[in-house]
Structure 1
Amino acid sequence: MSGRKQFDVDEALDKAMAVFWQRGYADASLDVLGTATGLGRGSLYGAFGGKDELFRRALDRYSATYGARYEDALTAHPGDPARAVEAFFGVVLARINDPAVPEGCLIAQAAAQSAVLTPESAAHVRRLLDIQQARVRAALDDPHADPSMLDDLAVYVVAINQSLAVLSRAGASDRELRAVVRFACETVASRLAPAN
């Protein structure tokens, strides 16, 4: 189309995702988002409907990218839920140690800022946490275990994941993060042991 600047929507989403991930929702102004994506306000609104919708789409892109990796890890060890959780945390640590992405986790960053999000975006963050919890819970499934204990264990694993993101942003060392993961994996294995 003549006269219209064309741009790659996925590339713009990746750049916006990095801004929200690094700065958080509150500090990701339209000017900062425009500079990062190379889009003016009009183009941002035209393509994404505004900052709030762009934020939710960036969250979805993040969730799809890392969710697929989590899913692969959690399903790679059928019948061995403790090993599946260990693989899940391996993916988490790989993301945290990836120098190509901001520290922490976009969803953890968004959850910490829930008070400044619109109700729609806060609910969206909660849904993404629920999806993560459902993935973990599916990996823990064991017909011989108490379902409510498995539900609680899934919440625990997701809480540890979010804690790792916060600790990494606060400068925790790799050794410290791996210690948290080791104790979490031991806890999961010990809670599952009576069922196996």
Structure 2
Amino acid sequence: MSKLTNMAGRKQFDVDEALRRAMHVFWRWGYSEASIDRLTEGTGLGRGSLYGTFGDKNTLFRKSLQRYAQTYHPLYDQALSGPHSNPSAVVAAYLQVTLNRIADPAVPDGCLLTVSATQLPALDTESQALVHAMIDGLRAMLEQALRAAGTGEQEAAELALCTLATNKSLAVLSRAGFSSDDLATVAAATARRSG
């Protein structure tokens, strides 16, 4: 809940909560459709407060992506920390984090990073670089966990890429209305084939 109070004639608000809400606007609509009107409505802030606190739309978008990474990437890191007995266990643990996020009714369907990647041409250079860096970070995290589970370097690289692709596919399928059972089936089949 946004904390708006009137002190000394000035409105005060919870900046972190406003950023969380902005993140959800970008997550739901994607960068292209996240208009300033939608961002002000979603955050509960006027244009002046929005710009004064977060800068322009590109800056707010990058801050939202960073907030997303700070929220979810540690969950992947924790799931991958193991120890895992084999590659299948690594893949299953990683994709379970994705399924848990998708099942959370408090957040939009899909994945902010995935929808951002699909709109890469609409992003400025700095935002494009951030999207690539976040995806590369997840891929490296997977490769490291797969190697720790005894997978060879080449196979770990291939499995990491395939697992990342499955992760992004799950996000797209969830936005398309596929059931949680369907998504769990995709994740389980991917994990089995990684053994």
TM-score (norm. length: structure 2): 0.90
Residue 75 of structure 2 corresponds to: 69
Q: How does 1:12-31 map to 2 (within 5 A)?
A: 12-31=18-37
**Match of 2:58, as an amino acid?**
D
Show CA shifts across 1:47-90 (max 9, x none). 11111111111111111111111111111334544213211111
Change (3 A) 1:182 1:5: same
User: What RMSD over aligned residues (CA atoms) do the two structures have, in Å?
Assistant: 1.7
Q: Which residue of 2 aligns with 1:194?
A: none
SS at match of 1:141: helix
Match of 1:133 among 107, 129, 139: 139
Q: Residue type matched to 1:15 in 2?
A: R
Q: CA deviation at 1:3?
A: 4.0
- Between 1:58-67 and 1:37-46, the stretch displaced more is 37-46
Say which SS state the counterpart of residue 110 (structure 2) adopts: coil
Task: Give structure 1 stretches of 5+ with no counterpart.
Answer: 190-196
Please state whether the residue corresponding to 2:74 is helix, strand or coil: helix
Show the 5 A alignment for 1:105-184: 105-142=111-148, 145-184=151-190
Residue 53 in structure 1 maps to residue 59 in structure 2: yes
Total equivalences in the alignment = 189
Report the equivalent of 1:43. 49
Pairing partner for 1:187 from 165, 176, 193? 193
| Code of the aligned partner of 1:58 | S
The structure 1 residue matched to 2:101, chosen from 85, 90, 95, is: 95
The answer to which of 42-51 and 144-153 deviates more is 144-153
- TM-score norm. by structure 1 comes to 0.90
Gaps of 5+ in 2: 1-6
Look up the equivalent residue of 2:97 and give its one-letter code. V
- Indicate the larger mover: 124-133 or 134-143: 134-143
Moved over 6 A (4+): none
Matched residue SS, 1:165: helix
Distance 1:15 1:145, change over 3 A: closer
Worse overlay, 37-46 or 1-10: 1-10
Cα contact 2:21–2:42 (8 A) shared by 1: yes
1:126-171, CA deviations, whole angstroms, 9 ceiling, x for partnerless residues?
A: 1111111111111101496431221121111111100000011011
Segment of structure 1 superposing worse, 139-148 or 178-187: 139-148
8 Å contact from structure 2 (residues 83, 149) kept in 1: no
